[in-house]
Amino acid sequence: MAPAKPLDQLTPVEQSGHAVFVQHCSTCHHDRTTDPLNGPGLAGLYKKPYLPSGAPANDERVRNTIVHGRNNMPAQGYAMTDTELNDLLQYLHTL
């Protein structure tokens, strides 16, 4: 699997998404490894055909997971603006 884009090469939008990740996701997910924390590590999220649950790895499913939560993952939709959510998805594409 190709490595994640280095942090110092992120575009401004991806940097903003990284800040959202640190604030809202990093307590439960590693982003640059697949090692589990509270939830699965997210390295290579969009490079694999399926999410850890077996759902297709696409923006619709990932957005849905973030907004509505899933099992032990709490819904985060209330916690961020649409722009922050879109920036976060852009960041997840760099992993």
Cβ atoms of residues 8 and 94 within 8 Å: no
Residues 4, 43, 51, 95: which binds ligand HEC (CB under 6 A)?
A: 51
Q: Which of 15, 41, 52, 93 binds ligand HEC (CB under 6 A)?
A: 52
CB of residue 47 vs ligand HEC: minimum separation in angstroms?
Answer: 13
Pick from 63, 37, 62: nearest CA to 50: 62
Nearest approach in angstroms of CB 13 to ligand HEC is 15
Window 15-34: residues binding ligand HEC (CB under 6 A): 24-25, 27-29
Q: Which residue is nearest to ligand HEC (CB)?
A: 39
Residue 74 CB neighbour total at 10 angstroms: 11
HSE-CB for 76 with a 13 A CA cutoff: 21
